[in-house]
Amino acid sequence: MSKSDHSFSDSERAGLYRAIYERRDVRSQFLPDPIPRPVLARLLKAAHHAPSVGFMQPWDFILIDSAEVRQQVLASFNEENAKAADNYTGERQQTYRSLKLQGITESPMNLCITCDRSRGGTHVLGRNSIVEMDLFSTCLAVQNLWLAARAEGIGVGWVSIIDQGELAKILNLPDNVYPLAYLCLGYVSEFADQPELEAKGWRSRLPLDELVHGNRWGVSLDDKALLGKLTK
């Protein structure tokens, strides 16, 4: 069988790569329009088809539209964000304070993707050596949903400035369930050309060729053909 039998058509590949390159972390551009149920279902199904260690599928999806719950989450964000701002001084702190880092109440839907650390019992296949594989699997579900959302024209923002213990209390999570990702979802006025932190000069994209090693850490890759492709 030819090795090329399983690759996608050019237009199918283009769709995937477009989602990868045009996906953004959205905080400021949410529109209030509700997400149609068939679209929301496609996003959740995309997440549910992520790979998971031992086919554990440790995720749950808490869809949050309650104003009361969202106000509680926003209060936790505000507390954590005030602490975070104190880590910076001078111009850097001013830039930090100018950044909008969440869209909890402006977006029409929030979604907490959780990880049930006890799912599948004591001995989940492939989780014997690295116990965090359940958390990592849940991240893969987040990325599936994030890419599917972009293709549907829906922006996603991951709110990571939040106290996980506080969030677990607000959402009534059992002890074995970890609130891995708190996401804001909604249609947007625009998807920016660049990540906001890049556009605002907070941090630059690293040159990819400097992040590639050959066989062991710190050994330059002896492959000019590949390195040349990475700098473009």
Question: Does residue 75 belong to the site contacting a second copy (CB under 8 A)?
Answer: no
Q: What is the token pair recorded at 127?
A: 């989780």
Instruction: Determine which residue in the list 91, 129, 175, 193 makes contact with a second copy, applying CB under 8 A.
Output: 129
Question: Does residue 208 belong to the site contacting a second copy (CB under 8 A)?
Answer: yes
Do 33 and 187 form a contact (C-beta atoms < 8 A)? yes
CB of 15 to a second copy, least distance (A): 3
Compute CA distances 188 → 106, 153, 191, whole Å. Answer: 11, 8, 7
Question: Does residue 229 belong to the site contacting a second copy (CB under 8 A)?
Answer: yes
Instruction: Determine which residue in the list 48, 74, 105, 106 makes contact with a second copy, applying CB under 8 A.
Output: 48
CB of 94 to a second copy, least distance (A): 14
Q: Which of residues 183-202 bind a second copy (CB under 8 A)?
A: 187-191, 195, 197-198, 202
Q: Are strands 109-116 and 59-64 parallel, antiparallel or unpaired?
A: antiparallel
Burial (Cβ within 10 Å: 0-12, 13-18, ≥19) of residue 74: middle
What is the rounded end-to-end Cα distance, in angstroms, of the chain? 33
Compute CA distances 132 → 38, 139, 160, whole Å. Answer: 33, 11, 18
Instruction: Determine which residue in the list 28, 60, 97, 192 makes contact with a second copy, applying CB under 8 A.
Output: 60
Question: Does residue 72 belong to the site contacting a second copy (CB under 8 A)?
Answer: no
Instruction: Determine which residue in the list 71, 74, 84, 91 makes contact with a second copy, applying CB under 8 A.
Output: 84
Whichever of 170 and 184 has its CB closer to a second copy, that residue is: 170
CB of 191 to a second copy, least distance (A): 6
CA 180 – CA 158 distance, rounded (Å): 10
Question: Does residue 103 belong to the site contacting a second copy (CB under 8 A)?
Answer: no
Question: Does residue 172 belong to the site contacting a second copy (CB under 8 A)?
Answer: yes
Q: How many residues bind a second copy (CB under 8 A)?
A: 125
Question: Does residue 180 belong to the site contacting a second copy (CB under 8 A)?
Answer: yes
Give the single-character DSSP code of 25. Answer: B
CA 179 – CA 58 distance, rounded (Å): 11
Question: Does residue 176 belong to the site contacting a second copy (CB under 8 A)?
Answer: no
Instruction: Determine which residue in the list 45, 118, 176, 220 makes contact with a second copy, applying CB under 8 A.
Output: 45
DSSP assignments along 134-166, one per residue: HHHHHHHHHHHHHHHHHHTTEEEEE--SS-HHH
CB of 183 to a second copy, least distance (A): 11
